[in-house]
Amino acid sequence: DSEELAELLERIDGDGYPAYRRIEGRWVFPHFTLTVRRAQPDPYAPPSRVEVQIGDRSAGLPSDLWDTPDAARATSAHLLRRFAAALSGGPFTVDVGGPEILDRSSGRILDGAVTLCLALALPGRGRRIDGRAARRALTDLLPTAVDAVRGESIDLPAARRVVATVADAVALREMLPELGLIAFVADGAILPRRSGVSEEPMSTALPFRAPESMAVRVRLPYRGEVTGLGIPEGVTVVVGGGFHGKSTLVRAIERGVYDHLPGDGRELVVTRADAVKIRAEDGRSVTRLDLGAFLSTLPNGATTADFCTADASGSTSQAASIVEALEVGSRALLIDEDTAATNIMIRDARMRALVSAEHEPLTPLLDLIRSLWTDHGTSTIVVTGGTGDYLAVADHVVMMDAYQPREVTERARLLAGDRATEDDRIFPPVRARRPLAESIDAAIGGGRRRVRARGLDVVLLGEEEIDVRLIEQLVDPAQLVGVGLALAALGERGRLDGTRTLREALTGLAAEIAERGPSALAAGFPGDLAVPRMFEVAAALNRLRTLRIAD
């Protein structure tokens, strides 16, 4: 029990680090069980992993804090923050995540029992064990921190606020299809962040307020009636002068696929779960993708129906991202001119006159965006300040004016006049690819332990680096680990056997995660992970340079 652990730690004081292996295993404390999964072999090795299990009685959490998966996810986020605060200054590290409330392996609640996973840098003096410090950490600090997350000491109203916030966001997201909306931005929302490197809300921001004509009223389970801007399905164009808040709006919308903590400002900025941010990303690889919608035969005669490149241009990379998002089932695309390639977005009348269609392999999104909606049911939100071309294809036009939205659809329609519909093209059906497991085997040979991540930048499968910096809806470093593990899982057990499409394989994996939680991905993996969306798993796979597709 815990007393034996305390004695053992005192006894190994001054020994070499290998003696720390004697604390591996389970230790019973009055209110919890501690499992030391793996003690580090030396002071410079990755920290040790420990797990705290608090039984439902000891945890003493009222059932409304965990009786649905969403409530459990919300309460886990709340408890992780309290736990980390109580442990601060000690040798423990807890993955609490950012303002997005994700399903993560570091904190889980099942039937009222709480499991917390953390890293511990086992203390030493040089290469010798500091048994006293280890005893203080494990048998004093840790039990105090556990007490801080038990029902008798937590701030119940604060915990219930997190549960209610998540429940409202989830309910709102589920309402969007019936309301015919892509996204909802509540009145009073705070969209801008303090800075480009902070996720804190800007304290001096002007709160959001929907224009009368696009205001939608919804009834939420906890907050009751809420009014906000409803962005309808179809094509919505966001216009406005520079610095008037266009990119800030679309950035908030792209993150609206996640739920946010109370106080974030974006609690009720909610976007359909299948929305995907699209951008240009020159230099990325593209593997056997049918780009025919955007790209006809190239000057060198190369076909574009089975397109490969190790170094895509801005326009091809953006076209590829659109086709890839559709391939795995997205029906809502978000595009900001700031990060788009102009030549895939538009071609103006003068250029159409000068370079006739048979000499121009590129079809701009402008000519395809109506067909995306009418033939594929795919909606688009496009931010544009510099060109009026999109006004003619928009169902709705929102102008950002000093951070406030106004609807200018009527005026835009008058200015745009009738569009020359002979420019409209049909977006052909997207061909579903069947990736092969060898894509992943080539990198890691099936071992989940060989998955790593570097911040928000790189997912590593063995030595193979996947550059994910520009996959903008990856927002939490733990998601990158989740993406790597999801790819490893796809490489196992014949999920990608050449008969399944990528979408089918991802749907199967998502179902398994929905049933078993993050542990569906974590088998044998020692670190922290957050469950990623399948769109980001696909996006990472699409950037894997060893990707192989079945014929």
Q: Using CB under 6 A, which of the segments 110-118, 238-246, 451-459, 513-521 binds ligand ADP? A: 238-246
Restricting to residues 393-432, name those near ligand ADP by CB under 6 A.
Answer: 400, 403
Q: Under the criterion CB under 6 A, does residue 380 sit at the interface with ligand ADP? A: no
**Distance between CA atoms of residues 530 and 478, nearest Å:** 5
Interaction partner, residue 160 (ligand ADP, Mg ion, none; CB < 5-8 Å by kind)? none
Q: Under the criterion CB under 6 A, does residue 192 sit at the interface with ligand ADP? A: yes
In terms of CB distance, is 241 or 445 closer to ligand ADP? 241
Query: In the complex, what is the shortest distance from the CB of residue 403 to ligand ADP, in angstroms, rounded to a whole number?
Result: 3
Closest to 39 measured CA to CA, from 15, 23, 16 = 23
**Distance between CA atoms of residues 498 and 472, nearest Å:** 29
Among 112, 201, 245, 435, binds ligand ADP (CB under 6 A): 245
R_g of the chain computed on alpha carbons: 26
For residue 364, which phi and psi values (nearest 5 degrees)?
A: -70, 155
N-term to C-term CA, the chain: 59
Among 40, 58, 247, 339, binds Mg ion (CB under 5 A): 247
Query: In the complex, what is the shortest distance from the CB of residue 467 to Mg ion, in angstroms, rounded to a whole number?
Result: 23
Q: Under the criterion CB under 6 A, does residue 240 sit at the interface with ligand ADP? A: yes
DSSP 8-class letter at 545: T
Q: Under the criterion CB under 5 A, does residue 15 sit at the interface with Mg ion? A: no
Cβ(325)–Cβ(278) below 8 Å: yes
In order, the DSSP letters of 75-120 are HHHHHHHHHHHHHTTSSEE-----SB---BTTEEEETTEEEEEEEE
Q: Using CB under 6 A, which of the segments 22-30, 67-75, 105-113, 237-245 binds ligand ADP? A: 237-245
Q: Under the criterion CB under 6 A, does residue 243 sit at the interface with ligand ADP? A: yes
Q: Find residue 455's DSSP bridge partners.
A: none
Query: In the complex, what is the shortest distance from the CB of residue 400 to Mg ion, in angstroms, rounded to a whole number?
Result: 9
Quick one: three-class SS letters along 169-184? Answer: HHHHHHHHHHHCEEEE
Q: Under the criterion CB under 6 A, does residue 246 sit at the interface with ligand ADP? A: yes
In terms of CB distance, is 98 or 329 closer to ligand ADP? 98
Query: In the complex, what is the shortest distance from the CB of residue 539 to Mg ion, in angstroms, rounded to a whole number?
Result: 22
Sheet with 275-278, edge to edge strand ranges = 275-278, 332-336, 379-383, 235-239, 396-401, 404-407
Q: Under the criterion CB under 6 A, does residue 205 sit at the interface with ligand ADP? A: yes
Among 48, 76, 248, 439, binds ligand ADP (CB under 6 A): 248
In terms of CB distance, is 156 or 206 closer to ligand ADP? 206
Q: Find residue 497's DSSP bridge partners.
A: 436
Closest to 31 measured CA to CA, from 148, 143, 163 = 143
Q: Under the criterion CB under 6 A, does residue 473 sit at the interface with ligand ADP? A: no
The residues, ordered by sequence, that sit 6+ positions from 247 with a Cβ below 8 Å of its Cβ are: 336, 338, 383
Query: In the complex, what is the shortest distance from the CB of residue 241 to Mg ion, in angstroms, rounded to a whole number?
Result: 10
Query: In the complex, what is the shortest distance from the CB of residue 402 to ligand ADP, in angstroms, rounded to a whole number?
Result: 8
In terms of CB distance, is 338 or 492 closer to Mg ion? 338
**Torsion sign (Cα): 301, 304, 308, 314:** positive
In terms of CB distance, is 222 or 243 closer to ligand ADP? 243
In terms of CB distance, is 151 or 192 closer to ligand ADP? 192
**Distance between CA atoms of residues 359 and 291, nearest Å:** 17
Q: Find residue 124's DSSP bridge partners.
A: 129
Site string for Mg ion, 328-367 (x = CB under 5 A): ----------x-----------------------------
Q: Under the criterion CB under 6 A, does residue 279 sit at the interface with ligand ADP? A: no
**Distance between CA atoms of residues 20 and 434, nearest Å:** 47
Closest to 388 measured CA to CA, from 424, 353, 413, 420 = 413
Query: In the complex, what is the shortest distance from the CB of residue 347 to ligand ADP, in angstroms, rounded to a whole number?
Result: 23
**Distance between CA atoms of residues 511 and 282, nearest Å:** 33
Q: Using CB under 6 A, which of the segments 114-122, 200-208, 284-292, 406-414 binds ligand ADP? A: 200-208
Query: In the complex, what is the shortest distance from the CB of residue 221 to Mg ion, in angstroms, rounded to a whole number?
Result: 35
**Distance between CA atoms of residues 241 and 384, nearest Å:** 9
In terms of CB distance, is 100 or 336 closer to ligand ADP? 336
Q: Using CB under 6 A, which of the segments 61-69, 243-251, 322-330, 347-355 binds ligand ADP? A: 243-251
Q: Under the criterion CB under 6 A, does residue 191 sit at the interface with ligand ADP? A: yes
Cβ(159)–Cβ(78) below 8 Å: yes
- Write out the two tokens for 7: 């004695």
DSSP 8-class letter at 315: H
Q: Under the criterion CB under 6 A, does residue 44 sit at the interface with ligand ADP? A: no
Restricting to residues 118-177, name those near ligand ADP by CB under 6 A.
Answer: none
**Distance between CA atoms of residues 434 and 453, nearest Å:** 26
Query: In the complex, what is the shortest distance from the CB of residue 404 to Mg ion, in angstroms, rounded to a whole number?
Result: 16
Q: Using CB under 6 A, which of the segments 18-26, 86-94, 201-209, 511-519 binds ligand ADP? A: 201-209
Cβ(190)–Cβ(228) below 8 Å: no
In terms of CB distance, is 105 or 247 closer to ligand ADP? 247
Among 244, 255, 448, 543, binds ligand ADP (CB under 6 A): 244
Q: Find residue 399's DSSP bridge partners.
A: 239, 406
Instruction: Tell me, by CB under 5 A, how many residues bind Mg ion.
Output: 3
Q: Using CB under 5 A, which of the segments 127-135, 243-251, 267-275, 499-507 binds Mg ion? A: 243-251
**Inter-helix orientation angle 156-179/69-87, to 10°:** 140
**Distance between CA atoms of residues 481 and 483, nearest Å:** 5
Q: Under the criterion CB under 6 A, does residue 247 sit at the interface with ligand ADP? A: yes
What residues line the site for Mg ion (CB under 5 A)? 246-247, 338
What residues line the site for ligand ADP (CB under 6 A)? 191-192, 202, 205-206, 240, 242-248, 400, 403
